[in-house]
Amino acid sequence: MRRSSRRAAARRTLHTAWGVFLLLATWQGLSWLVDRAVLPGPLEAGEALAESVMSGRLLPHLAYSTFRVLAAVASAVVLAVPAGIAMGRYPVVDRLLSPFVRLVYPVPKVAFLPVVVLLLGVHDLAKIFLIGLVVFFQILVPTRDGALAVPRSCIMSVRSLGAKEWDILRHVVLPACLPRVFTSLRIAVGTAVAVLFLTETFATSHGLGYYLLDAWSRLDYGDLFAGVIAMGLLGAALHWTVDRLEARFCPWERL
């Protein structure tokens, strides 16, 4: 068992290394093809990243961005998962909230950025709220669908053993929804980083979005790609965290 686990881990490491190699090779090839300062190669971008980290310019912006994304995603999960379970479990709640979800979900939330800034100010709260608003619906809808998909026979079987409604929610509905929650989270963290860039280019002087916009205005392409790499690493770290959480709370999905 341990030997097969080590082999599987070695294969995953090999696949990851091969993927990174393909990415860097493609990047370098495009850099040679374009042959302009606007697209430096991975070596030049890596040197710019190391220099910006060592000088202390990049890390404060990365810290601001990480805090905003984590706060927004955590808030969305805390609100969306119970709401989605309630909609999927109780038809009355679903009938009340579904029209609102259908009307609001397709609307691009970033269009509300000026309004949110005017209402909540230019500080972190406005940015966290807007990112959380986008992520909220991406988690709510799959959670509702997961709760709706729970077979009635499973609920009746547990109820016949004396389970109360809270026991059904905790031991049947929530575990059934968790795989969909984590799948939606993988999509949501990518969306959150994208929305983060937009929110940090508006009325702020901190964050990776501001860092990228400032580098662009100075035509400092090394700093620009250092910020892009930092944003990519932030997204990758969030995605890895979701994978670890799923392995912890949904071990049956890995069998």
Tell me the CATH number at 81: 1.10.3720.10
Residues 146 and 20 in one domain: no
Judged against a pLDDT cut of 60, whether residue 134 lies above it is answered with yes
Residues 23 and 126 in one domain: no
Mean pLDDT confidence for 131-150: 91
Between 72 and 151, the more confident residue is 72
Residues 100 and 173 in one domain: yes
Polymer length in residues for the chain: 255
**Cβ–Cβ < 8 Å for 236, 69:** no
> Nearest Cα to 40, choosing from 51, 195, 239?
51
Q: What's the chain look like in SS3? A: CHHHHHHHHHHHHHHHHHHHHHHHHHHHHHHHHHCCCCCCCHHHHHHHHHHHHHCCCHHHHHHHHHHHHHHHHHHHHHHHHHHHHHHHHCHHHHHHHHHHHHHHCCCCHHHHHHHHHHHHCCCHHHHHHHHHHHHHHHHHHHHHHHHHCCCHHHHHHHHHCCCCHHHHHHHHHHHHHHHHHHHHHHHHHHHHHHHHHHHCCCCCCCCHHHHHHHHHHCCCHHHHHHHHHHHHHHHHHHHHHHHHHHHHHCHHHHC
**Cβ–Cβ < 8 Å for 46, 146:** no
Residues 222-247: tens digit of each pLDDT: 888 888 899 989 999 999 999 889 88
Mean pLDDT confidence for 52-76: 91
Judged against a pLDDT cut of 60, whether residue 255 lies above it is answered with no
Separation between Cα atoms, residue 151 and residue 173, nearest integer Å: 10
Mean pLDDT confidence for 122-136: 88
Q: How confident is the model at residue 253 (pLDDT cuts 50, 70, 90)?
A: low
pTM for the predicted model, two decimal places: 0.85
Residues 216 and 244 in one domain: yes
Residues 19 and 70 in one domain: no
Dig out the tokens for 118 from the structure. Answer: 């005017």
Least confident of 3-7, 71-75, 96-100: 3-7
Hey, how many other C-beta atoms are within 10 angstroms of the C-beta on 194?
14
**Cβ–Cβ < 8 Å for 83, 73:** no
Judged against a pLDDT cut of 90, whether residue 77 lies above it is answered with yes
Q: In the chain, how many domains are there?
A: 2
Would you state the pLDDT for residue 27? 85
Residues 17 and 46 in one domain: no
Which residues, other chains included, contact 45 with Cβ-Cβ below 8 Å and sequence gap of 6+? 222, 225, 226, 228, 229
Residues 159 and 243 in one domain: yes
- The domain of 9 spans 1-35
Separation between Cα atoms, residue 10 and residue 127, nearest integer Å: 40
Residues 186-209: tens digit of each pLDDT: 999 988 998 888 888 877 788 898
Which class for 13: exposed (0-12), middle (13-18), buried (19 or more C-beta within 10 A)?
exposed
Mean pLDDT for the chain overall: 86
Residues 224 and 142 in one domain: yes
Separation between Cα atoms, residue 146 and residue 89, nearest integer Å: 10
Judged against a pLDDT cut of 70, whether residue 161 lies above it is answered with yes
Residues 101 and 187 in one domain: yes
Would you state the pLDDT for residue 102? 87
